[in-house]
Structure 1
Amino acid sequence: MAHIAEAVIDRISDRIDCLVAGHRPGHGLARAFYHDPEIYRRDMERVFRRHWHCIAHESVIPNVNDFEVFRIDTEQVIVTRAADGSIHAVLNVCRHRGAEVCTKQKGNARVFVCPYHAWTYGNDGSLRAARLMPKDFKREDHGLKTLHVRVVEGLIFISFADQPLDFSEAEHLLHATCGQYGWASARVAHRETYPVAANWKLAVENYVECYHCGPAHPEYSQTHALEQPSHMIEAMNAAMEQRTGELGIEIGSGNHWQTSREGREAIHAFRYALYEGVQSGSEDGKAVAPLMGRFSDFDGGVTSIHLGGTTFLVCYPDHGMIYRFIPKSPETCEMELIWLVDGSAEAGRDYDLEKLTWLWKVTTAEDKTIIEHTARGVQSHYFVPGPIAPMEHNELRYIDWYLDEISRPEGASA
């Protein structure tokens, strides 16, 4: 029976590899990449279990023993703050029979007691007690599965990989970008999750290109100038950088968008200007919260960061945005939006929550509709992917990156 199972796996692998090899350069992905369950499983193995993912801002667990459970595909990750203030990430799977040891979404707990047989775990994942086990049982060998964790500028990143990708380039750029905006001392003002009836890649592809911004996002396009001719954008960006320099701030940028072949995480940080007179991403372009970090005034710009294939960050001088893309099944995903403000800012006193969240709520609701229109369309057996437009260069880069990632088994390099 084992050799039959291996033969089936080999046939599936060969079929996926043929689809990858048959991809037409400069075009979108074929239909199967958006609904095939076996491709989805490979996505989980070679993208999600290989790369780093921002899962939250540490202000969601501010106190010792605070915890929250996060779900990605079939995995449940408990993020905790231990007694010494350190942050841990453990899988919500008992090492005895696999039951969920944490049955609440969030809370405060020194230990997690499995409801099945009462195995008891510290919030760092260590096994504290296992009732009626034999004398030779070693508790130290049966702690909860722990994930790699990095906390940078208040952002909690996790990796499922046994040997995670080198995060040093990403960390450096996060300090040079989010660090200037004061994200380490920020706090979460609002979180909202959008369920999307589409494969996770359709959601990410939509995010990384602005070819659709003009026709699909009139509200966003009134303040963000990404659709202007390149010579106009260059002039606006130069004026923005001059204003930033006059404020005594140096914000980093850099393109380290790379596959995992060399063992390093992918990150790309870039800056772009808002229209003249626009201060922030809001309905009227005016400020929506107190200035953050090193900013004493508005520079009329935005810093955008793409990291690891599923994490996207947007920095305005008065607030920040975390965009998380979360796979749920071959044809469903979630987009979680997290709004950050200065850690001392209070809703109702320093900012109006509705004004703070208006632009990205409107834009994301529009995106959800667009993505689901596309998901239904690509189900057609007659769908043939068309050529990628010049304004979709980030999508083209993302597709090429994705295909390279799923072409290599876990642990494979160049």
Structure 2
Amino acid sequence: MGHIAEAVITETPDRIDRLVSEHRPGYGLARPFYHDPEIYQRDMERVFRRHWHCIAHESVIANVNDFEVFRIDTEQVIVTRAADGTVHAMLNVCRHRGAEVCTKPKGNARAFVCPYHAWTYGNDGNLKAARLMPKDFRREDHGLKKLHVRVVEGLIFISFAEDPLDFLEVENLLHATCGQYGWASAKVAHRESYPVDANWKLAVENYVECYHCGPAHPEYSQTHALEQPLHMIEALNEAMEARTCALGIEVGSGNHWQTSREGREAIHAFRYALYDGVESGSEDGKAVAPLMGRFSAFDGGVTSIHLGGTTFLVCYPDHGMIYRFIPKTAESCEMELIWLVDGKAEEGRDYDLSKLTWLWKVTTEEDKTIIEHTARGVRSHYFVPGPIAPMEQNELRYIDWYLDEIGRA
């Protein structure tokens, strides 16, 4: 009887798999996806440890031996620039007893010394010294756990996967988009983190749709035509593309939004117009910084990029935005915003930081409020997801993508 019972249990569908299979197409996610600790752990295993993530712009480690520590869920990642200029990413976990080897959030160091037993690692992750170990101990076998790293157009990407997803389509599209805006030679003007009392998916779902922009973001909606349905802004988009071409610039777009089934990373880049007379994303629609990259004038447009499920990029001709979504627990996350400007621009001379950051600070504070309203609502045992609206097509696509990812081991 014991063997029979065991066989029955083995064949019973996993509880999470059952929830995935019961999802109603065209509708939002059910309540457990936003608070269940077991689903959160599967998210970490099958989304965050499978896909690539933009973790920073490389200007944050501009000098040789610079480093910074980044946190995702329970993981700590040390990102460094070694003596030869190469960028490395490694886990902040000593290979002896697991202590944190880097105890400062950022700085400049050629080596990290574990405070527990003084094992010493170079900033490339290699173990340099281990006190009083036996003669047959091999230092080369005990370096810090290294992560895969790609640097494209100044953006540092990491992957926790042993065999990471193919990144070629991402690289090509980033060259065609961020490359035209000069992101490789940009610098970080400002960074700000927003703690959110909500599951990370509620934050991402909010970001990818603009159905809420009219009601929730009056400031954004005064300048960005994306708050209108696509058929209502086609003429604006056509005029934007004509201006871009007249500048001799071809900003790429492309839809490679795909699950990891084929072993490739997902990316989707698209363009949309600002309203007539608007130059950039700012309080009054006027420029807030010097033009970047190949732009010699404003084209009245924006390039938006969705990448790998957790990274979102916004390109204006005079500045750029990196949006990172960082899980903390099943019911909390963090949104980090990174503002980019031309690498030669100087604060106070070329841009006013308060004007540069105004729009996306206001918009993100509003997002934080509405996401937390939603998080409190979906905790209700009586919450039943409703149908996705036509203007939420990117959210619908994201939900389908997410369910496919966590539905596969």
In structure 1, the partner of 2:355 is: 355
Q: Is the 8 A contact 1:12 1:38 kept in 2?
A: no
- Give how far 1:232 is off: 3.2
Alpha-carbon distance in structure 2 between the residues aligned to 1:81 and 1:40: 32
Is contact 1:318–1:341 with CA below 8 Å preserved after alignment? Answer: yes
Normalising by the residue count of structure 1, what TM-score does the alignment of the two structures yield?
0.96
Whether 1:132 and 2:132 are equivalent positions in the alignment is yes
Distance 1:113 1:24, change over 3 A: same
Match status 1:302 vs 2:299: no
Residue of structure 1 in register with 2:265 after alignment: 265
Which residue in 2 is equivalent to 1:252?
252
Partner of 1:284: 284
Tell me how far apart the structure 2 counterparts of residues 13 and 313 of structure 1 sit (CA, whole Å). Answer: 38
Q: Secondary structure of the equivalent of 2:144? A: coil
Distance (Å, rounded) in 2 between the aligned partners of 1:231 and 1:140: 60
Within 5 A, what are the aligned runs for 1:97-176? Answer: 97-176=97-176
What is the match of residue 208 of structure 2? 208
Q: Deviations over 1:198-229 (max 9, x none)?
A: 00000000000000000000000000011334
Following the alignment from structure 1 to structure 2, what is the Cα–Cα distance between the partners of residues 346 and 223?
26
Output the CA distance in 2 between the equivalents of 1:155 and 1:12.
Answer: 44
CA distance in 1, matches of 2:111, 2:231: 59
State yes or no: 1:227 paired with 2:227: yes
What residue ranges of structure 1 are gaps of 5+ in the alignment?
Answer: 410-414
Contact kept in structure 1, 2:176 and 2:251, CA below 8 Å: yes
SS in 2 for 1:179: coil
Alignment of 1:4-403 (within 5 A): 14-403=14-403
- The 3-state SS of whatever aligns with 2:171 is helix
* Counterpart-to-counterpart distance in 2, 1:238 and 1:69: 43
| 3-state secondary structure, aligned to 2:341 | strand
**1:412 aligned residue:** none
C-alpha distance in structure 2 between counterparts of 1:16 and 1:328, whole Å: 20
Mapped to 1, the partners of 2:155 and 2:12 lie a distance apart of: 37
Quote the Cα distance in structure 2 between the aligned partners of 1:122 and 1:13: 47
Distance 1:364 1:228 in 2: 19
Judged with a 3 Å threshold, the aligned counterparts in structure 2 of structure 1 residues 12 and 338 are, in CA distance, closer, same or farther, namely farther
Question: Please, what TM-score do these two structures have when normalized by structure 2?
Answer: 0.97
SS at match of 2:44: helix
State the one-letter code of the partner of 1:382.
Answer: Y
Name the SS for the 2:252 alignment partner. coil
Cα offset for 1:12? Answer: 10
Counterpart Cα distance in 2 of 1:386 and 1:250: 40
CA, structure 1 residues 159+12, in 2 after alignment: closer, same or farther (shift >3 Å)? Answer: farther
Secondary structure class of the residue paired with 1:324: strand
SS across alignment from 1:226? helix
Contact 2:229 2:391 in 1 (8 A): no
**Matched residue pairs, number?**
404
SS state at 2:225 partner: coil
Q: Match for 1:256: what amino acid?
A: H
Q: Structure 1 vs Structure 2: percent identity of aligned residues? A: 88
Q: Is the 8 A contact 1:181 1:293 kept in 2?
A: yes
Q: Residue 258 of structure 1 aligns to which amino acid in structure 2? A: Q
In 2, the alpha carbon distance for the partners of 1:214 and 1:160 equals 38
Secondary structure at the residue paired with 2:258?
coil
Deviation at 1:11, TM superposition (A): 9.8
Change (3 A) 1:114 1:256: same
Residue 393 of structure 1: how far off its partner (Å)? 0.2
Structure 2: stretches of 5+ with no match in the other structure: none
The whole-number CA distance in structure 1 between the counterparts of 2:33 and 2:14 is 15
Structure 1 residue 233 displacement after superposition: 1.1
Q: Which amino acid aligns with 1:105?
A: P
Q: Which amino acid aligns with 1:408?
A: R
Q: CA 1:245/1:116 → structure 2, altered by over 3 Å: closer, same or farther?
A: same
- CA 1:220–1:84 in structure 2 vs 1: closer, same or farther (change >3 Å)? same
In 1, the alpha carbon distance for the partners of 2:344 and 2:299 equals: 22
1:361 is paired with a residue of what secondary structure? helix
Amino acid at match of 2:175: H
Distance 1:10 1:303 in 2: 48
CA distance in 2, matches of 1:107, 1:49: 27
RMSD (CA atoms): 1.4
* 1:317-365 Cα distance to aligned partner (Å, 9 max, x none): 0000000000000000000000000000011000000000000000000
C-alpha spacing 1:229/1:32, structure 2 compared with 1 (3 Å): closer
Distance 2:13 2:118 in 1: 41
1:279–1:300 CA contact under 8 A, matched in 2: yes
> In 2, distance between residues paired with 1:290 and 1:102?
37
After TM superposition, the runs of 4+ consecutive aligned structure 1 residues lying more than 3 A away are 9-13, 229-232
1:1-37: per-residue Cα shift (whole Å, max 9, x none)?
xx9xx99x97997100100000000000000000000
- One-letter code of the match for 1:202? L
Give the 3-state SS of the residue equivalent to 2:226 in structure 1: coil
